[in-house]
Structure 1
Amino acid sequence: MAFSYVVFNKISTNSAQNKLNEASLQTLTSIQTNVDLMVGNVNNYSKMIFSDDNLQNLLRQGNVYADLQTQSKVSMYLNNLMQAVPIIDSVYIFDNSGNRFSVGTQQSPTFARANVHDAEWYSQVVAEKGKYILRLNGSGAFTESSDSNFVSFIRLIRDMDDTSPLGVLVINIKGEAFVQAYANLPNQNALQIAILDENNQIIAANSTDDDRFALMKQIMASDEQLLNQTLLQQAAGNLSVKSDSQTYTVSFLSEGSFNWKFVSVTPHNLFRTVNKSLVLLALMLLIINGVVFFVTSFIISRSIIHPIHQLLRSMKKAQSGSLRKVPAATSSYEFEQLFIGYNNMIEQIDQLLKRIIEEQKTIRKAELNTLQAQIKPHFLYNTLDSITSLAMSGLNDQVCDLLEALGSYYRMSVSKGRDIITIGEEIDMVRNYLKIQKARYQDIFEVEYDVDESCCPHKILKLVLQPLVENSLYHGIRSKGMKGTIRISAHHADGMLRISVADDGIGMSEEEVARIVRPEGKGQIESFGLWGTLERLRIFYGDRSSFKIESEPGKGTVIALFIPLGGDTSWTS
């Protein structure tokens, strides 16, 4: 019992620590998702700002003060936007000559440079060619009237006609907006959260102290070299840090496009208190069980051993295929019931074996439905956000077109509960999907269709092309940073249907393709949409279908599916 107590204490301590670490990382992941959504919304607002016709016309004149009437319209537009979006503290517009005007609150940060070209981040913004960058407190380019932090969202304003640079847009986001990413966390006193920028400077942190950053700064300073090295080398993890005779567990998550770090700090005594009670309870149970076992071991009669051995011999014969019943034991009621139950089990095994084939078919269909349910379109939020942006801009015709495409897409994706639809319906679903995406990414991609009309009536498993097209758009073309083309084709080939989706995006290496086709585990799948589609085809068509992936870094990707004619008519619901 003493040995069990020591072992259990060690195991429970490690288990409690691991569960706490997992919970911390899950919390950080939720915070990162909230921050990504917020920055994504600001990105959409920035697109609304620089696409404004008045601002475009004003910046094309080379001086923001050249037309005060147009500048007044732009200022009114920015004021209305800031009232609708309270997370924005101020907006600065710089033309190519360094002139500027701003809209903000009375406590807004003030631009402290003589010219925007003197700002530390200006050359990087120009080099990004329209991509945005984030800088804590504007990297010293702004002076803040209060002690609170803010994050500057900075991007180049380009001409909507010829994409030439017209100026620079700076949107200052309130630091309190990032606090909302973890404002509703339970047990605030036990879990300290902080968001760090790419230079490990604290953007926001929660604490009950007067100085919100005191604890986090203290822990960061306790072993600064180890923390900085770990944050740079690992995307996520946990480590122990000592500060003022107290040991803390630091969980961190540094994945994402901003190079920001999300850090949580938990004192060790938090889980040790819970673990101590659990270990004491386990010790008491060990003592009680030991006493009960010791006493009952003398009560067991030898009469129990013989029928048990008889039953064991019959079980060993059953393992070799000899399914024979054994005479029921009459020494006690319990053994009699045991033998009766065993004989009934032997009798039912034959019946169970006959049902395996039908059950396997049911399992096969359930696996397919599960994979199909996991590949649901998840762009509804972004589509509604785009519709909102168009509506705010007064583009009612485009709003109607986009709503019509969205309704058609979901109506086709439901397809009255059918798993099998025609290739023509699948192509129409993709057309509506890309029409929606075109409204969001007007200058990112073009689409080409090469579909043999004789292929359209053939049946195919539903939602096969859309995940592949989505994969090409998000992982191929958008990551490329420049306009690309998606090509969709359908033809007959050697008695099969050849359906392909090609793009001229960033492409993939052979190792990346191998990780998608043959993932080591579900948690390591890099493109669930592509893998899930291939897995659904494998389950549905078996060995009758095949696929081919051709990809080269920098040159794009071609995914070809070979579907048997006729499909599987037994699965029609």
Structure 2
Amino acid sequence: MLRTITNLNASIRGKPIKLALKIPFLYFLVILLSVAFSYVVFNQISTNSAQNKINEASFQTLTSIQTNVEFMVENVNNYSKMIFSDENLQNLLRQGNVYANLPTQSKVSLYLYNLMQAVPMIDSVYIFDNSGNLFSVGTEQSPTFTRANVHDAQWYSQVVAQKGKYILKLNGSGAFTGNADQNFVSFIRLIRDLDDTSPLGVLVINIKGDAFVKVYSNLPNPTALPFAILDESNQIIAANATEDVPLALFQQMQASYDQLAKPTLRQTNAGFLPLKSGSQSYTVSYLSGGSSKWTFVSMTPHNVIRTINKSLVLLALVLLIINGAVFFVTSFMISRSIIQPIHRLLRSMSTAKSGRFQKVPATRNSYEFQQLFIGYNNMIEQIDQLLKRIIEEQHTLRKAELNTLQAQIKPHFLYNTLDSITSLALSGLNDQVCDLLEALGGYYRASVSKGRDIITVGEEVEMVRNYLKIQQARYRDIFEVEYDVDESCYSYSIPKLVLQPLVENSLYHGIRSKGTKGTIRIRARRAGGMLTIAVADDGIGMSEEKVAQIIRSERNGQSQSFGLWGTLERLRIFYDDRSHFRIDSEPGKGTAITLFIPVGEEA
């Protein structure tokens, strides 16, 4: 929104938009964004609500289907008990060969045939004895057993390990061949002797795949929910495909089911997963577990969900637009009542550009604007009087501070220098007197600097050299000087008479009080955006309490020495508090004063 306003500002010749246009425009953007955001949120909430209702309905339907399927399998289990409980079958299998007694075999076949006639979902029944012989009863299109012996079937060892419990295998796990277009489920279990529970053979009941489709008939509106049944190997047992959800989509889901659902099924037996096919999105509902260990899956296209809540969302959008329009018209009228008094104030304030301050008549239609105009009139009445006085006072104050600080420096240095020259003259060292006078002249020429308050670091260092030349003539063999100034720092500008006071303090209060020869080190470097100037000595040093006491006494004007605080205060005034300093001192080891001055900034 702000970017749009900025672009609009730039388009009008770089001029800011008038408040009379900006307020309605901002209101319009706020309303537009509010309507859009409300629509998105409401649409999402409505979609989620519809999705939850469909998911709940899908889960309930899948639960009903799972219950019906398990009931059907349990019926087959009861039929299997009826089959292996048949006396003729028990006697036939006890002989070890299903072909040993053909009359008995005929009776068993007739019994099985009558059972299949009564239970249409059974496609065929296979009975294997312990020798691997078999006989079967089924329809003309019944699947054919393809193994040489029942022991070769991959499920045989599993059936034996179940000790009479049944297992379910889709299409017999390859042991049977049948119609490629129709699936069947093989119900397999051991046939055990009713007297001593010893194994007599294996019973296989092949259930028609259509029987699982007929499970839907007991559900309300069975064609409304496309779903599929997957076995424990993730193969499709039966699928109720529709025009919106074809069988190919279930096959696509089957191919990616291991990646989609299996990790989740380790934690829960039911859930919902997203699936995308082309440009269409679906919600996959799954339910697993139960005695069959099968998975029941349904898919709902998202366009169904959008259709359900489309009318409700459109109604909400219309209401939002109407409310937004009413709010915009109302806000436009309110903004006009606010802008008109501001325009009067702006017209009065426009004369301030020329330095003339005019009062504006107070408005009475609003308490807030009335107080604003009264305050504005009082303000401009005092501004005209205070502005010149404040500027003049600040200028006078700054000039007085600088003059006072420099006045503290020049007499102090001059007194010490004249003392040195007097001492040399009395000693008859006229050559040295001339050198000192030349050094003193050079110092003051640099100090005057043609009236400049700002000089270069090189000029400041040269003044310090002249000063220390004078002091070395006065105090022989008391101190040495080391200069470590980066050449790149010589051209930087700083206030004059910054180093000399620090050097003088090092000499008089550091080394001279030490009683032995010492060293003064002058160092200058550039670090980042700051010029670092340090003056260090190996004199008597000071404790932290002593440093604080000296600064406090100099700040209060109670120090008898040249003011360290005066030098620091000059830097503060010159650089508007952008400079700072650090004092490092330790008794018996010396003192170091480091100044940090902004580089490239003039006072």
Instruction: State the TM-score, normalized to the length of structure 2.
Output: 0.46
